[in-house]
Amino acid sequence: MIAGSELILRPDGSVYHLHLLPGQVAEKIITVGDPERVHQVSRRFDRVELKVEAREFVTHTGELDGERITVLSTGIGTDNVDIVINELDALFNIDLRTREVKDELTSLDFLRLGTSGSFQSDLPLDSFLLSHAALALDGLLHYYLNQGEPDPLVIALTDHLDDEGVTLPVPPLVVRPHLPVFMNHPAAAELAAGITLTAAGFYAPQGRSLRLPSGMTPKILNALRTFSDEDLRITNIEMETSGIYGLTRLLGHRAASISALLANRALGTFSKQPAETVESLIDLGLRLLTDRQ
Ligand SMILES: O=P(O)(O)O[C@H]1O[C@H](CO)[C@@H](O)[C@H]1O
Ligand SMILES: O=c1cc[nH]c(=O)[nH]1
C-alpha cells in the first residue's frame, strides 16, 4: 500500500496537484506548457466534458471526430513534468482507494505541442520539429533508477565533447520515446527531426546571457551544435521533452514531442508571428490525433 505522504489525495479523492479524479482524463493526452494554450486547443473540440484548474495545471477533456482527448498544461520545466506524468499515471494505474498498483496497467499516448528555439541556422523560424531523442541537461531523470544502459548517442556525444575539450555543467543523459501509433500519420513523416536539448532554465541553461554570464559558453554551444551521430544532430532547445520521454518510457506509456521553432538561437532571430505559428501547431497535432488527412 502506498502511504498517504507519498501519493497525496485531496479530500474529494483527487490527485494532489492536478486536482483530477479517475475517469476524467482520456487515454490520448496533449500537453502544452502555457495554460492559455489549453483553451486554444479545446476550442477546436466538438464537445468539452470537463474543465479543471489547479495552479498552472489546467485540464480540459473533450471529444473531436469521435476521439476522446485531454489537453493539459504542464507549466514550464521538467520539475512540473515530474508531477504531471506521475499523477496522470496514478489516475490510471493505481487504485486510489486501496492505494495499490493495479494488476492491469493502461498505456497512455502523450503528444507535447510546445515552442522551442532552433539550435541550427538552417532550421527556419515557424517550422515544426519532432524530437527523435532528448538530451537531458535538466537533471530530473538522474533521480529515477532503472534507466538501463546509456544510450549510444550519449556515448558518442561524450566522445565528441572530449575531442572538443569541453565539459557540460551537468552529466548528460539521452532518452528516446516509444512513439504513439498516431505518429504513423503521413504528416508526421514530413516533420524535421532531431535531438532536442531539454534545459533546466530559459536563460543561462540555454546559453542566454542578459546581465549574468552563462556557463553554457560559446565553446560548449559550438561543440553541441557540431555534434552528429546516427544522422541526428541537436536541433532545438526547450524545457520539457526529456522529462516527458524519460518518464513515459519508464512507466510504459508512449509519447511524441513536436515543437514550433519560434527562436533561432544560431542566428539571433525570433518569430514575427508566434501566435499564428502556435495555432498551426495545434492544427497539426489535432490532425495527427484524429487521423484527419
Ligand atoms: O511553449 P511551451 O510549451 O511552454 O514550451 C517552451 O516554452 C517555455 C519557455 O518559454 C518552456 O516551457 C519551453 O519548453
Ligand atoms: O528559445 C526558446 C524558445 C522557446 N522555448 C524555449 O525553451 N527556448
Kindly indicate whether the ipTM for this predicted assembly is greater than 0.95, answering yes or no: yes
Report pLDDT for 97.
97
The contacts found for 199-207 with CB under 8 angstroms, 24 or more apart, are 199/137, 199/138, 199/237, 199/238, 199/239, 200/77, 200/78, 200/137, 200/138, 200/139, 200/170, 200/239, 201/77, 201/239, 202/76, 202/239, 205/137, 205/138, 206/117, 206/237, 206/265, 207/265
Summarize pLDDT for 146-172 with one digit per residue, the tens. Answer: 778 899 999 999 999 999 999 999 999
pLDDT at 145: 80
Mutation test residue for ligand 2: of 238, 258, 259, 261, the one with most atoms within 8 Å of CB: 238
CATH number, domain of 119, equals: 3.40.50.1580
**Within-domain flag for 52:** yes
Ligand 1 centroid from CA 266, angstroms: 18
Q: Which ligand is nearest to the CA of 113?
A: 1
Ligand 1 pocket by C-beta < 6 Å: which residues? Answer: 32-34, 76, 114-115, 202, 238-240
Closest atom of ligand 2 to 199 CA is 7
Residue minimizing CA distance to atom 7 of ligand 1: 115
Q: Is residue 10 part of a domain?
A: no
Residues 6+ apart with CB under 8 A from 73: 31, 32, 33, 34, 35, 37, 38, 56, 57, 58, 59
- Is 138 a pocket residue for ligand 2 (Cβ < 6 Å)? no
Low-confidence spans in the chain with pLDDT less than 50: none
Q: What ligand 2 atom has the least distance to the C-alpha of 265?
A: 1
Q: What string of DSSP letters covers the chain? A: ---TTTS-B-TTS-BTTT---TTSS-SEEEEESSHHHHHHHHTTSSEEEEEEEETTEEEEEEEETTEEEEEEE--SSHHHHHHHHHHHHHHHHEETTTTEE-SS----EEEEEEEEEESSTTS-TT-EEEEEEEEE-SSGGGGSS---SPPHHHHHHHHHHHHHT---SS--EEE-PPPPGGGGSHHHHTSEEEEEEEPSSSSGGGT--SSS--SS-HHHHHHHHT-EETTEEEEEEESSHHHHHHHHHHHT-EEEEEEEEEEETTTTEE-S-HHHHHHHHHHHHHHHHHT--
What integer pLDDT is reported at residue 148 of this predicted model? 81
Contacts of range 217-220, beta carbons closer than 8 Å, 24 or more positions apart: 217/166, 219/164, 219/165, 219/166, 220/166, 220/168
Domain that holds residue 171: 28-290
Looking at the structure of the chain, the number of domains it has is: 1
Is 227 a domain residue?
Answer: yes
Q: Which ligand number lies closest to the CA of residue 32?
A: 1
Atom 4 in ligand 2: which residue has the minimum CA distance?
116
Task: List the one residue out of 281, 293, 292, 291 whose CA is nearest residue 130.
Answer: 281
Distance 182 CA to ligand 1 centre (A): 23
Q: Identify whether 8 is part of a domain.
A: no
Instruction: Give the Cα separation of 256 and 278 in Å (integer).
Output: 17
User: Is the pTM for the entire model greater than 0.95?
Assistant: yes
Q: How far is CA 72 from the centre of its chain?
A: 12
Asked if residue 187 is part of any domain, the answer here is yes
pLDDT score, position 5: 98
DSSP characters over 76-92: SSHHHHHHHHHHHHHHH
Pairing relation of β-strands 28-32 and 192-198?
unpaired
On whether residue 135 sits in a domain, the answer given is yes
11 in a structural domain: no
* Encoded amino acid at 93, one letter: N
pLDDT of residue 146: 73
The answer as to whether 195 is a domain residue is yes
pLDDT digits (tens, 9 = 90+) for 252-293: 999 999 999 999 999 999 999 999 999 999 999 999 999 998
Q: Give the ligand with the smallest distance to the CA of 257.
A: 1
